[in-house]
Amino acid sequence: MCGIFGFIGNRAAAPLLVEGLRRLEYRGYDSSGIVVRNGDLQVYKKVGKVSELSKILPNHIEGNSGIAHTRWATHGGVTDSNAHPHLSENGDVAVVHNGIIDNARGIRKRLEDRGFELKSETDSEALVHMITIGLDSGQEPLEAVRQTLNRLSGTWGLCVLFKEHDMIICARNGSPLILGQGDGESFISSDPHALSRHTQNIFFLEDGDMAVINKDGIDISRLEGGSSSTSMTVIEDDWGEADMAGYPHFMLKEIHEQPEALRRCISGRLDRANGSAKLGGLKLEPVRLRSAPHVRLIGCGTALNACKIGQLAIESLARIPAVAHVASEFRYNDPVINPNAIHFAVSQSGETADTLSAVKEIQLKGGDVHGIVNVVGSTIARLCGQGVYIHSGPEQAVASTKAFTNMVASLLLFALRIGRTRSFSRERGRSIIDDFQKIPDLMENYLSNPGPIDEAVELLKEAKSVLFLGRGLSAPVASEGALKLMEIAYIPCLAYPAGEMKHGPIALLEEGSPVVVIAPNDRHREKTISSMHECKARGAKIILIHEEGDSISEEADVSIAIPKCDSILTPLLSVVPTQLIAYKVALALGCDVDRPRNLAKSVTVE
């Protein structure tokens, strides 16, 4: 989604801004732009990739401060004029803005009535004119920005650059903004990935914070006046360099990183002696685990699919009711919150607005929430203040892969932990742990010989639609496989619990329709075979993901074998072929695998 980068210091700003934008590219965007302060405010902006912007930049741009933006269209189409930065009519003020201004229509109308000629269709452009009105009436820059923000409703991560003042002013309300303090230089970003190579000294702005940024310092205050309690954090987590390491795409790299990422996630957390798991970030004493009435898991997209697996694993191992919730629905359904219940917010980015608002809803109603999050220091992680980091490392492809497997692994660890306090024996716990420890190696083995993925691609690449089926823990895996293929290959995909297929989606099947079935050798196997027969009787072609050595493979048109493991762990392995299938179908169709159209990596609007 939209990204912001800013710099003020003694170095040339333009190359740093462009490099910052490149680091934000993975979030998804449709245009980009920079403004550099060099006597005047020089704006360059362009529809398309940052590489398109680079083509219109002069070879050398003087100037030691500037702000930059990648835009993911919300108000107004994808055009050069709608791209940020927006410049005031007198050329004195430039803004970049993430978020949505809800009362922009009225403000734009009032500005037009005052004689302003708005050059874009965006909500963001209104801000630059409002700030200019404040400056023209004699306000200092901070006051002009403050007065402007006080007239807005909506969300913002905002940066303002001034022709006449050697500073950048930033503000946050509902859209992340992170400031970095270097040696004689300061940085701004909407995303910690873009800052970590410049400095470890970070300020995570809170909602309602404003900041004046100079090369020598950062002064943070509150929108309502007074100073802010936001303080500097030294980021110690080694986020690592997010390059492609010789792979043609981030997605393929991240699929192959899963064994190592999973090792990181479970390392030191499997407690074989007790047949349990240690999750230091969870502030849940055994008495709370034993007495909790239920568990709720909340997420979006891939995280939601991980929640659904968590729900089944927690119920199965701990015999406690568990429910997965669609985050975007949660708050608006006015949920009843039991303060004794256990709540999890699951998110790779830790910035997803829908998930964030669900966290706030639970907290408002007296519940506490644990984060299951990848990005260290992200808004959800900080708001929850407790939880589990999944340690996937940077995930750059829009299609989530290694975060999914580590979310599932983290929820399985929790299922072990709560299960041991409530229901199952140490021996059962040890047996799961013994298999859990083997999963990274089994994944590696599978990835070194993934089976006939290309045959599956041949069946799928020209399909009008694809049906994904699974039962039990494999039903959410089917959903995840369908989501992956749909989002990067643009093929309409339906995922159904296999038994539900005959109640509707079977109508779609005709001669040659591809159906992807996930059928590990668990207690659902026989029933899944019946569903497959129903598909085959209608001429469907079956791409079957099954355990190696299982005679179920005879049912398949394309049989993809995964290693055997304890049935509670199968999603960690059975999802991997679905990721490879999506990747290779998208490639075969010439799609932009890492940056699929319309999608954003981090969805920071509701």
- Residues serving a catalytic function are 2, 601
Task: Output phi, psi for 298, to 5 deg.
Answer: -130, 135
Tokens of 553: 């493979």
By C-beta, is 347 or 513 nearer to ligand AGP? 347
If phi over 0 gives left and psi between -120 and 50 gives alpha, with beta otherwise, what is residue 234? beta
Question: Is 376 in a helix, a strand, or coil?
Answer: coil
By C-beta, is 125 or 351 nearer to ligand AGP? 351
The three-state (H, E, C) secondary structure of 523-591, written as one string: CCHHHHHHHHHHHHCCCCEEEEEEECCCHHHHHCCEEEEECCCCHHHHHHHHHHHHHHHHHHHHHHCCC
| Total of chain residues touching ligand AGP, rule CB under 6 A | 16
Map residues 488-517 to x or -, x wherever contact with ligand AGP holds by CB under 6 A.
------------------------------
Report how far apart, in Å, the C-alpha atoms of 514 and of each of 165, 368, 501 are: 62, 44, 14
Which range in 83-91, 294-302, 418-426, 439-447 contacts ligand AGP by CB under 6 A?
Answer: 294-302
Which range in 81-89, 348-356, 362-370, 514-522 contacts ligand AGP by CB under 6 A?
Answer: 348-356
The Cα 249–Cα 593 span in angstroms is 7
By C-beta, is 53 or 381 nearer to ligand AGP? 381
CB of 579: closest distance to ligand AGP in angstroms?
Answer: 10
Which range in 8-16, 75-83, 172-180, 295-303 contacts ligand AGP by CB under 6 A?
Answer: 295-303
CB of 307: closest distance to ligand AGP in angstroms?
Answer: 10
CA Rg, the chain, in Å? 25
Map residues 391-430 to x or -, x wherever contact with ligand AGP holds by CB under 6 A.
-------xxx------------------------------
Which range in 239-247, 249-257, 511-519, 597-605 contacts ligand AGP by CB under 6 A?
Answer: 597-605
Tokens of 410: 């983290």
- CB count within 10 Å of CB 133 equals 16
CB of 407: closest distance to ligand AGP in angstroms?
Answer: 8
Tokens of 139: 């306000």
Exactly one of 64, 347, 474, 579 binds ligand AGP (CB under 6 A); that residue is: 347
CB of 447: closest distance to ligand AGP in angstroms?
Answer: 19
CB of 504: closest distance to ligand AGP in angstroms?
Answer: 24
By C-beta, is 65 or 355 nearer to ligand AGP? 355
Task: Output phi, psi for 50, to 5 deg.
Answer: -60, -30
By C-beta, is 196 or 400 nearer to ligand AGP? 400
CB of 387: closest distance to ligand AGP in angstroms?
Answer: 13
The Cα 556–Cα 544 span in angstroms is 6
- CB count within 10 Å of CB 22 equals 17
Beta bridge partners of 157: 98, 172
Question: Nearest-CA neighbor of 365 among 376, 353, 357, 355?
Answer: 357
Q: What residues from 296 to 315 belong to the interface with ligand AGP (CB under 6 A)?
A: 300-303
Q: Indicate whether 348 belongs to the interface with ligand AGP (CB under 6 A).
A: yes
The Cα 241–Cα 235 span in angstroms is 15
Tokens of 541: 């072609």
By C-beta, is 162 or 330 nearer to ligand AGP? 330
Q: What residues from 352 to 391 belong to the interface with ligand AGP (CB under 6 A)?
A: 352, 355
Q: Where are the beta strands (DSSP E) in 72-167?
A: 86-87, 93-98, 156-162
By C-beta, is 480 or 547 nearer to ligand AGP? 480
CB of 354: closest distance to ligand AGP in angstroms?
Answer: 8
Exactly one of 349, 379, 396, 567 binds ligand AGP (CB under 6 A); that residue is: 349
β-pair type (295-299, 322-326) = parallel
Q: Which residues bind ligand AGP (CB under 6 A)?
A: 300-303, 347-349, 352, 355, 398-400, 487, 599, 602-603
